Every structure is written in structure tokens, then in C-alpha cells.
Structure 1
Amino acid sequence: MTEIRSATEVLRVPAAGAAGGLVLRPWRAEDAETVIEAYGDPHIARWTTRAIEGPEDARWWLDLQRRGREDGTRLAFAVCAERLGTDDGAVLGNISLRWNEDTGREVAEVGYWTLAHARGQGVAPRALEALSAWAFEAFAQDGLRRVELLHQVDNLASCRVAEKAGYRFERILPAYPPYPRDGHVHVREAG
């Protein structure tokens, strides 16, 4: 299994047109208020399965991201605005790559959300493109051949993000608790 180069590894996404650069960095304990803000947004909460309502919930969520990074099952990144080459820019969103026990390291799943003030600026597709390209390179020796992006059929914004980042629509996924509606499966494959 490929190990993450370090617990503080960051990915840099260059500026595109009028959009500034992005930094994908591990989540930090001091990001708790941002997590609470995100999950308090009805446009994000609508698509999630667990409410994050206060500091204790945010600490739980941040600890889940840390543990996933440590055990190699989940790599979650705060998507930040690049600020003078540092990793301290404002948090714009979240993106994560995770593995399912049933598929080993050949298939991963990606998930993301964008804070309200950053929507419509190409943040999610740029972060998704960068994470996907990095993952196929970083985990090639582990056999990563496919990344899946799942969303409910009525999440049109996620459909657009998938298409912009080169994920092709593959199939309809029947509703399965806790998700009340059918879903879309979009995929991107190595090479």
C-alpha cells in the first residue's frame, strides 16, 4: 500500500483564467468553525448523512479525517485559496478520496463540497481534477484503476462538476438507505 508522503502533504492547483490558485491540504483542528459553517449550509446538509451542529460534532468529523489519513482508508483535504504560496488561504471546500474494503485499492470513491461563498467559481471541478490526477499517479503501484463519484440524481451541481472534471456517467444506482433517491455513478479511469 502506498503511504502518504507526510501527514501534512499538500497539493497545489495552479490559477486558471481569472480564478486564483488552490491548495489542497489536510484538515486541521483549527478548521472546526469552518466545518460547522459548512454543515450548517442547507445546500451541503441536504446531501450528507450526519449533522454537524457544534464543536463536538466538528471535532468528531476532523478526527475521522485524521484517522482515515493515518490508516490509509480516507484522504480528506481542505480546499483553500492559495495565498502568496502558503497553505493558509481561506477554506473554500472539502474533497476526499476513500477506499471501500470490498474493492481493495483498485477502486476509490471521491466526495466533495464547496462553501457558499466559493460556489460558481470552478473550485470543485478544479480540485476534483487535481486530486484525481494525483491519485492515479500516487496509487498506481497499488493498482488504482478507477475513481467513482456518486451523487443523488437530483444533485445537478454534482453532475456538472463530474462532467467538467472528466468523469463520465456510467449508470443509475438504485436508492439505498440512508439515501432516499436513486443516484448517478460517474467514473474516471486510469490512463
Structure 2
Amino acid sequence: MTVELRVDPTPAGAPALDLRPWDDSGIQPLIDIYRDPALRRWTRIPVTGVEEAIRWLELQRDGWRTGERLSFAVRETGRIVGHVVVKSTATHGDSAEVGYWTAAEARGRGIASRALEALSDWSFTTLAGVTRLELLHQIDNPASCRVAEKTGYTYRQTLPARPPFPLDGHQHVREAPR
């Protein structure tokens, strides 16, 4: 399945974003982006070299094949600046989980919220039966709370820590438009 999503430029002048499934052109950008200690703190799968980047990309391709993990590279003027994903869509009926990260130089510019908004809208209109999306993050990640709120994800509850996450987390939920 070839899927591409386009997020229009903002009236304030932020460039358009293109969301496309990951491909091998992401190997070196992944390695470069994962050098950021803040990103490594919030992600579970390390990418420190070519072999790990190839394994990470294969995980993304496998996700598309199974329908369990539909992930997109977020590009701004051709450069990869982030990642968004909707997970467990094939077996969990009406609910799926979304996730994202942004490259260090992309943070604070609304890229995460713009890309997550596009992914959420796409999920509700494209994925059969999905009527609820969940966003989970550790409680010590206030930036993820802000992204959730900006994109219509309502705080639902605090969840207890569970491996691989050492701290309690927040669950935010967004329901499909009626």
C-alpha cells in the first residue's frame, strides 16, 4: 500500500509536511536523529548505526505488511523531521494507539501536532472500524501532554509504570468525529 499524506503550509508560514511510509532513504537520517539524547530517552528501540537503522526500518515495513504498525516518516522540505505511527489496527477492533517523535531541530515548531493531526484524521477515515485513538506517554514528558491537547486528545487517566517504561504514564484519548 502506498500512502502519502500532505499537511498544508500554515498561514503563519510553516512549510508543508509530507508523511510517507519509511524507506531505505531514512537510514542515515535515522542514525543522525537518534544521536539526540532526548529522543533516546523517550524511545524504546535504539538506532546507533546502520544495522540498527536497517532493523528499525524492517520493523516499519513489517508493520505495514501485517497492518499492526502503520508508520510514516514526516518530511519538511524533503528532510525527515519526525515520525508518526498508528499501532495495533489489525487486531484491536475499534481502538488503536498513536505515537510520534520529532528530530531535535524540529521541536517547538508545531510539527508533531500537525503530523499527529493528519495521522489521526487519516486513521479515522481510512482504518475500518477505528473509532478511538489512544496516545500514551510517561508523566515526566510534558511536551507530549501539550501535543495531545493541541490535537484533541483528552487526558483520560494516569496508568501505572510497566516495562519498558520506568514511570507512570498518561493516557489521552481521541474519539472519531460523529
**TM-score band, normalised by the shorter chain?**
over 0.9
> What pairs up with 1:179-190 in 2 under 5 angstroms?
179-190=165-176
For the residue of structure 1 that corresponds to 2:34, the secondary structure is: helix
Indicate the residue corresponding to 2:103 in structure 1: 115
C-alpha distance in 2, partners of 1:47/1:100?
22
> What pairs up with 1:125-164 in 2 under 5 angstroms?
125-139=113-127, 142-164=128-150
Following TM superposition, by how much is the alpha carbon of 1:164 offset from its aligned partner in structure 2, in angstroms?
0.6
Of residues 6, 15, 19 in structure 1, which corresponds to 2:14?
19
C-alpha distance in 2, partners of 1:28/1:78?
9
C-alpha distance in 1, partners of 2:35/2:89?
27
Of residues 47, 56, 61 in structure 2, which corresponds to 1:61?
56
Task: Note the residue ranges of structure 1 that are not aligned, 5 or more in a row.
Answer: 1-5, 84-88
1:46-87 deviation digits (Å, cap 9, x = unpaired)? 012222111000000000000101111111100001x4xxxx
TM-score (norm 2): 0.95
Of residues 23, 38, 56 in structure 2, which corresponds to 1:43?
38
Alpha carbons 2:45, 2:56 under 8 Å: kept: no
C-alpha distance in 2, partners of 1:155/1:126?
19
Task: Note the residue ranges of structure 2 that are not aligned, 5 or more in a row.
Answer: none
Give the aligned length.
176
1:88-140 deviation digits (Å, cap 9, x = unpaired)? x1111000001177x6231111111100111111000000011101110002x
Deviating above 6 A after TM superposition, structure 1's stretches of 4 or more consecutive aligned residues are none
C-alpha distance in 2, partners of 1:108/1:20?
29
Alpha carbons 2:86, 2:98 under 8 Å: kept: yes
C-alpha distance in 1, partners of 2:63/2:30?
17
Q: What amino acid is aligned across from residue 106 of structure 1 in structure 2?
A: D
Q: What amino acid is aligned across from residue 110 of structure 1 in structure 2?
A: V
For the residue of structure 1 that corresponds to 2:14, the secondary structure is: coil
C-alpha distance in 1, partners of 2:149/2:19?
21
Q: Note if 1:95 corresponds to 2:84.
A: yes
C-alpha distance in 1, partners of 2:96/2:155?
16
C-alpha distance in 2, partners of 1:98/1:169?
19
Of residues 90, 93, 99 in structure 2, which corresponds to 1:105?
93
Identity among equivalent positions (%) equals 51
C-alpha distance in 1, partners of 2:110/2:167?
26
C-alpha distance in 1, partners of 2:14/2:166?
35
Of residues 3, 6, 30 in structure 2, which corresponds to 1:9?
3
TM-score (norm 1): 0.88
C-alpha distance in 1, partners of 2:46/2:15?
31
C-alpha distance in 2, partners of 1:15/1:124?
14
For the residue of structure 2 that corresponds to 1:19, the secondary structure is: coil
C-alpha distance in 1, partners of 2:155/2:27?
34
